[in-house]
Amino acid sequence: MSPATSALGARAALAAITGPEDLRRLPAEDLPGLAAQIRAFLVDTVARTGGHLGPNLGAVELTIDVHRVFDSARDSLVFDTGHQTYVHKILTGRAEAFATLRQEGGLSGYPSRAESRHDLIENSHASTALSYADGLAKAAALRGTAGRRVVAVVGDGALTGGMSWEALNNLGAAPERPVVVVLNDNGRSYSPTVGGIARHLAALRAGSGGPTVFEDLGLAYLGPVDGHDTAAVEAALRAAAALERPVVVHCVTAKGKGYAPAEADDSDHMHTVGAIDPGTGRPVRPAAPTWTSVFGEEVTAIGAERPDVVCVTGAMRLPAGLGPFAQRFPQRVYDVGIAEQHAVTSAAGLALGGLHPVVAVYAAFLGRAVDQVLTDVALHRLPVTFVLDRAGITGPDGASHHGMWDASLLPVVPGLALAAPRDCARLRELLREAVATEDGPTALRYPKASVGPDIPALCRAGGCDVLREDPGARVLLVAVGPMARPCLEAAADLAADGVPTAVVDPRWCAPLPAGLCALAEDRDLVVAVEDTCVTGALGGRLAQALANRPRPPRVLTQALPPRFLPHAARPRLLAEAGLDAAGIARRVRRHLSG
């Protein structure tokens, strides 16, 4: 595809597709041209808004044919890892809204029930679609909704997750409940697909004979099919539907297909991009240092000093910042696939074997392995360090990806210490303290954002960093992690208004540092400011700890509301929750005046 392809021409051609019914009326010979137009449209629009480009470029023909064979307004169509649904959105009448993709009030980057009746589930975490499909097929059988077909579009990367195999185990045992599993096999998720299933699929792609693992489980198997041949894919899907039993249709695709910069990107085929030049694929703005990149540098430096330090991740070696470590110590990085539960318990085994594992995952995804953190790691008091990227508000990825639950869940884990660095220097410092801990698990959380200048402390008291102490300050702001800067700005504003204010960074926010209560108990008002869900946040735990003091201060929690938040820019969502300088100062003034 030429980058010079007119976006206006693509829009004009796509304007005739207002829904899947228009697609089904197209002659088969028009489909390759439509696929090219969709790719041109994707490159043009995603280059402006940012988003998941590579996965959608690879799923164009496959999605066209799914909508030609099945009726998403009537059948149950489920996509595993919903970032591959841009083409689905285009074909279901949302092309004109793509200028708003991942923008506040605009199109979600994932399926959205509020957007369209064609979006059955809001699926954006991998390896869940087959379980949804199993339940939908059971419901259809019980309710007698004959003719409503169940279709799950699943990437090969999702098959590295245990839930997929738990679901396949059930699907294969029920030949009377037909489910069509469309396997979009591009050989990778973010990174190349790992493990035994990757080798098995590679053998199938190479034409090796013998039964497939799917057939051994009781499902039928069709393929492999060229996933970019619309005629071949449509024929295979129609054959699968006619079988009226659980069946896997194995479609081989290429991530980033048709866009030269994505095809040439060996790292992840432009899986996710910001705003780019559509001609070259290069970012339009230079990349600033991020929390992720600082972690990557420091964990590599630690690895050079500590041969017992190893890293574990779940299909996110590069996004989680482990690229430098993997390049220098390739034998000490374990990518277990999209399998967070296994990652945590495997890390427990590494710790039992005398190593210190660092588990690097997104904060939102650790929730899938809380039981393993609790009973496999903490119960055994094992030295495992969890590094939680994308903590708090992530921005354009929306409700499923905001990392706003980990800091509420982890404090209940006995023996686990949770830290939140306020700047680069503290990230490096706290990471070193974490990997030096040998009597239990530790965790660090930081946001998806660029990092600003370091914020020096006036002094350290009781394990906490005092960042500001006005003479006679009756108000204390407890700034958790990156909330330090807005807290300092709010304190300066309050002081200028005659309200002397102190600011302290607890560094370790669970369990509460011994000195935090001492710093807080003589104040009139304490406001704990944290980029996490208000339920279970530090403020509530601090209020409980101070409740039995002779003169307990009033303790408020300024945090995120306990609900799923939409996609929007991180600063915007933080401001709406009162987690900017103006909101913090406003909260203090309101309570002092009351």
Range list of β-strands (E), 76-135? 76-79
AA letter at 484: A
Q: What percent of the chain has pLDDT over 90?
A: 89
Mean pLDDT to the nearest integer, 92-100: 94
- Strand (E) or helix (H) holding 93: none
pLDDT at 50: 94
User: What does the alpha-carbon distance between residue 577 and residue 561 come to, in Å, rounded to a whole number?
Assistant: 7
Token pair 């913090």 in the structure block, residue: 584
**Helix (H) and strand (E) counts for the chain?**
24, 18
Q: Among 194-203, 351-360, 411-420, whose mean pLDDT is lowest? A: 194-203
pLDDT at 194: 85
Non-local (6+) Cβ contacts of 390 within 8 A are 362, 363, 364, 401, 403, 447, 448
* Confidence check: pLDDT of 209 > 70: no
Confidence of residue 13 (pLDDT cuts 50, 70, 90): low
pLDDT at 6: 42
**Cα diameter, the chain:** 82
Average pLDDT, rounded, for the chain: 94
Q: Which residues pair with 357 in a beta bridge?
A: 310
* Confidence check: pLDDT of 4 > 50: no
Confidence of residue 5 (pLDDT cuts 50, 70, 90): very low
The three-point CA angle 51-256-82 to 5° equals 45
CB 164 within 8 A of CB 213: no
Q: Is the Cα dihedral 586, 587, 590, 592 positive or negative?
A: negative
Confidence of residue 98 (pLDDT cuts 50, 70, 90): very high
Non-local (6+) Cβ contacts of 248 within 8 A are 181, 183, 212, 214, 219, 220, 221, 222, 223
pLDDT at 47: 95
Cα–Cα distances (Å) from 292 to 161, 199, 395, in that order, read 24, 31, 16
Confidence of residue 414 (pLDDT cuts 50, 70, 90): very high
* Confidence check: pLDDT of 182 > 90: yes
Per residue in 317-356, pLDDT (tens digit) is 999 999 999 999 999 999 999 999 999 999 999 999 999 9
What are the start-end ranges of the H helices in 306-378? 323-328, 340-352, 363-366, 370-371
Instruction: Give the residue from 340, 291, 294, 331 showing the smallest Cα distance to 309.
Output: 331
Burial of 354 (0-12, 13-18, 19+ CB in 10 A): exposed
Known catalytic residues are: 255, 340, 368
User: Collapsing DSSP states into helix, strand and coil, what is residue 530?
Assistant: strand
* Confidence check: pLDDT of 32 > 60: yes
Per residue in 52-87, pLDDT (tens digit) is 999 999 999 999 999 999 999 999 999 998 899 999
* Confidence check: pLDDT of 44 > 90: yes
pLDDT at 191: 73
* Confidence check: pLDDT of 510 > 70: yes
Confidence of residue 7 (pLDDT cuts 50, 70, 90): very low
Q: Among 9-23, 103-117, 386-400, 561-575, whose mean pLDDT is lowest? A: 9-23
* Confidence check: pLDDT of 181 > 60: yes
CB 5 within 8 A of CB 49: no
Mean pLDDT to the nearest integer, 372-387: 98
Per residue in 266-288, pLDDT (tens digit) is 889 999 999 999 999 999 987 78
* Confidence check: pLDDT of 9 > 70: no
pLDDT at 144: 86
CA atoms within 13 A on the CB side of 559: 26
pLDDT at 285: 84
* Confidence check: pLDDT of 2 > 70: no
Instruction: Give the residue from 452, 385, 446, 456 showing the smallest Cα distance to 421.
Output: 446
